[in-house]
Amino acid sequence: MISRRWGAVAVAAMAVTACGSSAKTASTNTTKAGAGGSTAAAGTTAGTTSSSAGGCTVGVSWNNYQEERWAKWDEPAIKAAIEAGGGKYISNDAKSSAETQASNLENLVTQGAKVLIVLAQDGTAIKPAVATAETGGVPVIAYDRLIEDPKALYITFDNKLVGHMQAQAVLSKVPKGNYVVIKGNKADANADFLRSGMEEVIGASVKSGDIKIVGETYTDNWDPAKAQTEMEQFLTSANNKVDAVLSENDGMAGGVVAALTAQGLAGKVPVSGQDGDLPALNRVALGTQTVDVWKDARLLGKTAGEAAMQLCKSPDVTKVSGIAPFTTPGGNKLSSIFLTPNPISQDNLKIVLDAKWIDKATLCKGADAAKVKDCA
């Protein structure tokens, strides 16, 4: 629970002179924000920062730092952008506890954070803590996951488009048949954004009867082990007659593939994923995962870090470079920055190789170089 003294602490923290900055050219492209129909900047470096921003502390609240992606990609990019602007990075980890995360926001403000970047464990449960920070003059960036707060700046990849890409890749392989849908955490709005993008692609086929959903479920904490159990149960109930699986992320796709492998179905049943996890990209090369929608977390982290430094100068999120309006499922109008994802299949593995996201040995381990051109 948030202590009543937090508001006073936050006000005191913001009493320190906000960090200054000078203009820096922002590189922008435009993309349709599939999660809400707005137009937003893709590939944006949302910053007007300079060395004069020294002394500004940015606090990052991780929902579960144990997930490989955050430590490997997102955090270094966020930290580098903050430090490049002359700021200081601090962070803490909620370890998948919504209650702990609420207390963590208070702790970050107590340590002097003038801007908060929040990867929400539960976008609804965190709202009171976010509102308290904002009341104290501390702006909040909802990082990668939606927080239904009109004062927050929402920075993410276009998750509805991710779902669309996942379904399109799988549908091209299996236009008719029995589908399973493995969704992420119910408390995470991304799970529903992804599902709505999938529906754009498969909805008509489901209505016509060409596609039958024989299993669909949310998965607590996007847990791969739970996804494997769910897939095992769906396979049992369908007597192994599953033709395709729409898994919303790579971790869960790994659990799905493990369940399929046990039944001799790996590589025969198309499976989707997202995030660009290294084992998942290897599965794409091997043919056990059909598509991995790659979201370059380095760009996401850089964008958030630079936006945070700009907010050090002025806490008005509507003044951040490259933002566009976004109407949430809850009817709130947020300032947002949406970045564009990239679907990776066996046909374009070179993209992640050229970006130095993964090395060839890791990507192509066990793959048939005669069949996979980028592994030759």
The Cβ-side half-sphere exposure at 206, using a 13 Å CA radius, reads: 13
Domain topology for 6-158+296-339? Rossmann fold (3.40.50)
pTM above 0.85, yes or no: no
CATH number of 159-294+342-375: 3.40.50.2300
> Between the CA of residue 291 and those of 167, 169, 274, 285, 334, what are the distances in Å?
9, 6, 8, 10, 31
Please report the pLDDT score of residue 54 as a whole number: 60
Q: State how far the Cα of 277 lies from the Cα of 68, in Å rounded to an integer.
A: 8
- Domains 6-158+296-339 and 159-294+342-375 agree in fold: yes
Tell me the pLDDT of the chain (376 aa) as tens digits: 334 334 433 333 333 333 333 333 333 333 333 343 333 333 333 333 333 446 899 999 999 998 888 999 999 999 999 999 999 999 999 999 999 999 999 999 999 999 999 999 999 999 999 999 999 999 999 999 999 999 999 999 999 999 999 999 999 999 999 999 999 999 999 999 999 999 999 999 999 999 999 999 999 999 999 999 999 999 999 999 999 999 999 999 999 999 999 999 999 999 999 999 999 999 999 999 999 999 999 999 999 999 999 999 999 999 999 999 999 999 999 999 999 999 999 999 999 999 999 999 999 999 999 999 999 9
Q: What are the C-alpha distances in Å from 243 to residues 207, 225, 229, 328? A: 17, 21, 18, 34
d(CA 216, CA 360): 35
Helix-, strand-, coil-residue percentages of the chain, each rounded to 5: 40, 20, 40
Alpha helices by DSSP H, the chain: 6-14, 68-69, 75-84, 98-110, 127-135, 159-173, 189-208, 224-237, 250-262, 278-286, 297-313, 350-354, 360-364
228 contacts 259 by C-beta, under 8 angstroms: yes
What pLDDT does residue 2 have? Answer: 38
- Which three-class secondary structure state does DSSP give residue 310? helix
User: How far is 103 from 360, CA to CA, in rounded Å?
Assistant: 43
Taking the domains of the chain in order of start, what are their residue ranges? 6-158+296-339, 159-294+342-375
- The two tokens of residue 118 are 């929040």
Strand partners, 217: 182
